Amino acid sequence: MTTTETKRQLPKAPKTFGDLKQIAEEFGVEIPIKSPFTPDDVNKLLPLLRLPLDEDAIQESKGSETKKGYDTTGYSYQAHVDRMNWVFGPTNWTWAIQNETYDGSLTTGGGYTKHQYSAEIELLIGYRVLNEETNQWEWITVHSLPPIPTDHEHFREKGAARKGMLTKGIKRATSFLGVGADAYLGTLDDDLVTGADPTDDLRPRKIDKVIDSKGYLQLMDLARVKGFNSDIKLREWYKTRSEGAITNDPANLTKAEAYEIKGWLFKLEDQLGSDDDNEVESEDHNNQHEIAIDRPKTLEELMAADNSLILQLAAEYSFQMPASITSKNKWPLCKTLAQLMGIK
């Protein structure tokens, strides 16, 4: 292989503007770009945007903090902005917010409002020229990206919800130009896309094994009786009910989460067939979801009941039971539960 056939190694991630400027000179371009410029000039700068970001810009979040159930790794919002500023200059690129909506209609049981913002972010690359007649600077767009959808929610602060929406959208938009591309190529995770503070809207999540298919079906049977005829409706309800602590889909809940949700569901009145979205179901299907509990009337009957019934009653009274009922712990557990039920 000749020297001319040898491929040049991709430069390492530049840590400073000076590092990136030196790499730009090797590519035969100058940064930041000078106005006026053309779309071809923008194209010549794309390899610089595609270069890896500095390792110091990598953020790691634990699943217990992000409520995803697994750890995620991605680049910070500021790293995306810095790369765009270094290549184009802070005055030669901008963004526009379109179709912004706000929803604050949901309130949690703890009195918090779920603030949710949605919008589309349009990324614009260009420059400004002075209109001598009006003495105003006018924007000239050289390149733009189609609007990128973005959203974010926060259970306490309205401003934090909008901040997360905006920073998430800007990261997504700049990634279409190649900024932080390795986060979207498997090297890092696509999940860590929000620019909100790591502590925004985060509560520790219980770590446990995920429920099996039987547990999922049992949960959905109960949910339908209570008026939730789809996974989406049930998830939105317990997400609000838990003030953002439980966000997994019903099929991916942990056993502890499913147990807690069942306890909340048992307290609701049966709503089977009352939802306008429900399709008419056959009588046999309705009978399948009926829950008939032969409630113990004495402590003695409670002690003699099946463990599954004891766990179901415990969930109804929000009594936290251990993972299993044994001959040693059954008596004190049933005695406490009997007191909550008002039986002797």
Please indicate, yes or no, whether residues 301 and 256 belong to a single structural domain of this protein: no
| Distance (Å, whole) CA 20 – CA 9 | 15
Q: In the chain, where does DSSP find H-type helix? A: 17-27, 39-50, 63-66, 77-88, 158-175, 213-225, 231-241, 255-266, 283-288, 299-304, 307-316, 330-341
- Residue 271 forms part of a structural domain: yes
Say if residue 93's pLDDT is above 90. yes
Please indicate, yes or no, whether residues 271 and 298 belong to a single structural domain of this protein: no
Per-state percent for the chain, helix, strand, coil, to nearest 5? 40, 15, 45
Say if residue 280's pLDDT is above 60. no
- Residue 168 forms part of a structural domain: yes
Say if residue 190's pLDDT is above 80. no
Please indicate, yes or no, whether residues 307 and 210 belong to a single structural domain of this protein: no
Please indicate, yes or no, whether residues 157 and 75 belong to a single structural domain of this protein: yes
- Residue 4 forms part of a structural domain: no
- Residue 324 forms part of a structural domain: yes
Please indicate, yes or no, whether residues 271 and 329 belong to a single structural domain of this protein: no
Please indicate, yes or no, whether residues 281 and 308 belong to a single structural domain of this protein: no
Tell which of 261, 289, 317 closes a domain. Answer: 289
- Residue 198 forms part of a structural domain: no
| Distance (Å, whole) CA 339 – CA 336 | 5
* pLDDT confidence tier of residue 104, bands split at 50, 70 and 90: confident
Please indicate, yes or no, whether residues 53 and 102 belong to a single structural domain of this protein: yes
129 beta partners: 138
CATH of the domain at 49: 3.30.390.80
Tell which of 289, 306, 335 closes a domain. Answer: 289
Tell which of 251, 266, 289 closes a domain. Answer: 289
pLDDT in tens, 47-63: 999 888 887 766 665 54
- Residue 200 forms part of a structural domain: no
- Element at 59 (helix H, strand E): strand 58-61
Does the pTM surpass 0.85? The reply is no
Please indicate, yes or no, whether residues 134 and 263 belong to a single structural domain of this protein: no
Using DSSP's 3-state secondary structure scheme, residue 125 falls into strand
- Neighbouring C-beta atoms of residue 34, cutoff 10 Å: 11
Q: Which amino acid is at 228?
A: F
- Neighbouring C-beta atoms of residue 302, cutoff 10 Å: 21
Note the pLDDT of residue 184.
Answer: 54
Query: The tokens of 212 are what?
Result: 């099996």
- Element at 153 (helix H, strand E): strand 148-154
Please indicate, yes or no, whether residues 53 and 173 belong to a single structural domain of this protein: yes
Say if residue 340's pLDDT is above 50. yes
Which residues form the domain of 282? Answer: 206-289
Say if residue 198's pLDDT is above 50. no
Please indicate, yes or no, whether residues 66 and 113 belong to a single structural domain of this protein: yes
* Cα 33 off chain centre by: 36
Say if residue 279's pLDDT is above 50. no
- Residue 263 forms part of a structural domain: yes
DSSP per-residue string spanning 259-312: HHHHHHHHTSPP-TTT-TTPPP--HHHHHHT-------SSHHHHHHS-HHHHHH
User: For the chain, how big is the Rg over CA atoms in Å?
Assistant: 28
Please indicate, yes or no, whether residues 100 and 169 belong to a single structural domain of this protein: yes
Number of domains in the chain: 3
Please indicate, yes or no, whether residues 161 and 248 belong to a single structural domain of this protein: no
- Residue 256 forms part of a structural domain: yes
Q: In 89-212, where does DSSP find H-type helix? A: 158-175
Highest-pLDDT range among 95-99, 158-162, 305-309: 95-99
How many degrees, rounded to 5, is the angle at CA 71 between CA 69 and CA 72? 120
